[in-house]
């Protein structure tokens, strides 16, 4: 298990970063749907009340308004829970924002199963599959607070719609402060040739934990942080496929349509003789429980990931 690891929530890092960006760029505005405290944007409201808009429980209207603000030269950062953005307001994201390619940044929190006891209705295990299938949409899943700050900064400079997926609870810091981040370019956090784990979000830290456990058994596991799901780093995936016979994808998402699907699509198109196994939610609705308990139940913690890798080897 991970011990003595510095932790910080990605949504907390977002709240701090958007204030810094707001000071530098007066065109940045923040929209929320009655969730300013939960999504950590209340600080932006205090600093820039004239650039903060709370739409109440009206996510669809919020997305339409964000599209309108973007046409006027503003850079809207829309903040709500992942389940609400990806499903309740999917049509508005697709038609009002992505279709015309408007410069809207959709920053969602409480993604995956991080809502825990909040209930199955609030788990977001389909959002990546939905968002990556929408044309013009860039999909980013930061692995920790350090990467979140850099992703938010990069998204501000990037022209076009972006979906950034954040969690709820504190996550282990896995990236150095001087880490050079680039949209669409994955990073190697650990070398290994027996197995290579391609992970996203919180699962990067859990994969590093699994790699440390398996090293004691003489199994070398490499870990790739695939922070951008779309456009995905095909070159990095193909390099991994050359180095190993087994790639394992690790995601806090349904194994259908998410990171695992994206990686296998790349390898299949290139006709590489590399086996890919997907670790994630096995196409079921997740039960209700504490976040860490759920990670353990669905074998998405370090112990569970290590157990599945050993089984496949």
* HEC string for the chain: CCCCCCEEEHHHHHHHHHHHHHHHCCCEEEEECCCCCCCCCHHHHHHCHHHEEECCCCHHHHHHHHHHHHHCCCEEEEEEEHHHHHHHCHHHHHHHHHCCCCCCEEEEECCECCCHHHCHHHCECCHHHHHHCCCCCEEECCCCHHHHHHHHHHHHHCCCCEEEECCCCEEECCCCCCCCCCCCCCEEEECCCCEEEEECCHHHHHHHHHHHHHHCCCCCEEEEECCEEECCCHHHHHHHHHHCCEEEEEEEEECCCCHHHHHHHHHHHHCCCCEEEEEEECCCCCCCCCHHHHHHHCCCCHHHHHHHHHHHC
* Catalytic-role residue among 3, 7, 59, 220: 59
- Is residue 307 flagged as an active site residue? no
Q: What residues are annotated to the active site?
A: 59
């Amino acid at each position: 298990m991970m011990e003595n690891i510095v932790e910080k929530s990605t949504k907390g890092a977002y709240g701090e970063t958007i204030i810094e960006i707001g000071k530098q760029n007066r065109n940045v505005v923040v929209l929320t749907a009655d969730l300013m405290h939960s999504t950590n944007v209340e600080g932006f409201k205090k600093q820039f009340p004239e650039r903060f808009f709370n739409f109440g429980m009206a996510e669809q209207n919020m997305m339409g308004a964000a599209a309108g603000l973007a046409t006027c030269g503003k850079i809207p950062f829309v903040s709500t829970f992942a389940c609400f953005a990806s499903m309740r307001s999917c049509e508005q994201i697709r038609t009002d924002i992505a279709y015309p390619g408007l410069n809207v940044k959709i920053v969602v929190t409480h993604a995956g199963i991080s809502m825990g006891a909040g209930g199955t209705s609030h788990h977001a295990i389909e959002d990546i599959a939905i968002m990556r299938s929408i044309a013009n949409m860039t999909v980013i899943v930061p692995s920790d607070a350090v990467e979140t700050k850099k992703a938010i900064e990069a998204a501000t400079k990037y022209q076009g719609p972006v979906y950034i997926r954040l969690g709820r609870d504190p996550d282990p810091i896995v990236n150095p402060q001087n880490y050079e981040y680039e949209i669409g370019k994955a990073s190697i956090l650990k070398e290994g040739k027996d197995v290579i784990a391609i992970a996203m979000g919180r699962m990067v830290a859990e994969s590093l934990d699994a790699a440390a456990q398996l090293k004691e058994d003489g199994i070398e596991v490499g870990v790739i942080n695939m922070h951008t799901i779309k456009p995905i780093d095909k070159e990095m995936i193909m390099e991994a496929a050359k180095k190993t016979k087994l790639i394992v994808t690790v995601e806090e998402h349904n194994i259908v349509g998410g990171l695992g699907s994206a990686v296998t699509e790349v390898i299949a198109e290139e006709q590489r003789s590399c086996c890919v196994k997907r670790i994630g939610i096995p196409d079921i609705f997740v039960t209700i429980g504490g976040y860490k308990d759920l990670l353990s139940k669905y074998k998405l913690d370090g112990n569970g990931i290590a157990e599945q890798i050993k089984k496949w080897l």
